[in-house]
Amino acid sequence: MIVALPDDPARGASVPDKFFRSVLPGEPRELPKIDTSVAHIARVYDYWLGGKDNFAIDREVGQKALQAHPETVLSVQANRRFLARSVRHLAAEEGVRQFLDVGTGLPSANNTHEVAQAVAPETRVFYVDNDPIVLAHARALLTSSAEGETAYLDADLKNVDEILAGAGQVLDFSQPVGVMLVAVLHLLRDDEDPQGVVDRLMAAVPAGSFLVISHLASDIQQEAMAEMGRRLNQEMTQQFTMRSRAQVTRFFDGLTLLDPGVVLTHQWRPGSEAEAATPGVLWAGAARKG
């Protein structure tokens, strides 16, 4: 278990072991157990993004998926750019200074806190993921600006109460929060009640908060996408459930969608012609509460 070393001892007393706000360089720690015999989506995604934090099995499964849907590489890049654009928009245009980012993924270029703190250094970001490899690399997500704060919790998106209890120690739930569910809801099956998870998270944040979602599409390039999903689901313990634009739009029920609504990632406020031209197969949107 990574040692929790909160920099405020008074507040840190009630912090659970696996929740940490800072880790001192050189501090002895027990690394989480990483299973290298089964592919994990965090590592397959890292492979598609050209990262180095993946194993042979992740590359093998990632390759099989690419054979079914070669555009996946461009699509994950488009998703990553959507993540950065939506965070920048919330920070720069909507004044959001707190983010709850669930399904963080392995550290990559333009992590949420880097994009947000480039706009407003005082921004606080609470990261959550349930993969041991993301926990092992979480130190790289804790490079907050001095004025802001970052924290990481090893937890499952389905455990909303645990996430809210942890986040409540870093984020102020009386102020707007940007809730980021980017490329993660398709890893919850229908019987795991993704709508209920979204609703409970959004019920906990005040008016003026935002929900950002991207989600693999079931109604775009249907045959290739279905085959890619089949190949991934055969080999991974995590299972993909792709959803249609209408199903993804329903996640935003009760909120006010920002323009241009729910569109493919590259169509959501592209920052350049190149971004607009990079095809994505994930539906994406952002919406305001209240």
Ligand X SMILES: C[S@@+](CC[C@H](N)C(=O)[O-])C[C@H]1O[C@@H](n2cnc3c(N)ncnc32)[C@H](O)[C@@H]1O
Which residues of the shown chain bind ligand X in the complex (CB under 6 A)? Answer: 41-42, 45, 79-80, 83, 102-105, 129-131, 134, 156-158, 182-184, 187, 238
Our CB check for ligand X shows the closer of 96 and 183 to be: 183
Our CB check for ligand X shows the closer of 40 and 245 to be: 40
Please report how close the Cβ of residue 174 comes to ligand X at its closest, in angstroms.
Answer: 25
Nearest of 76, 133, 134, 138 to residue 125 by alpha carbon:
138
Our CB check for ligand X shows the closer of 25 and 88 to be: 88
Beta-carbon contacts of residue 79 (< 8 Å; ≥ 6 apart) = 182, 183, 214, 265, 280, 282, 284
SS3 label, residue 178? strand
> Residue number with the shortest CB distance to ligand X?
105
Please report how close the Cβ of residue 116 comes to ligand X at its closest, in angstroms.
Answer: 14
Is residue 249 left, alpha or beta, with left meaning phi > 0 and alpha meaning psi from -120 to 50? alpha
Our CB check for ligand X shows the closer of 80 and 245 to be: 80
Please report how close the Cβ of residue 8 comes to ligand X at its closest, in angstroms.
Answer: 26
Please report how close the Cβ of residue 271 comes to ligand X at its closest, in angstroms.
Answer: 17
Our CB check for ligand X shows the closer of 172 and 193 to be: 193
Enumerate the β-bridge partners of residue 285.
213
Measured distance CA(117)–CA(4) in Å, rounded? 23
Query: Please, what is the end-to-end C-alpha distance for the chain in angstroms?
Result: 40
Please report how close the Cβ of residue 114 comes to ligand X at its closest, in angstroms.
Answer: 13
- Whether residue 41 contacts residue 236, with contact meaning beta carbons closer than 8 Å, is answered with yes
The DSSP symbol for 144 reads -
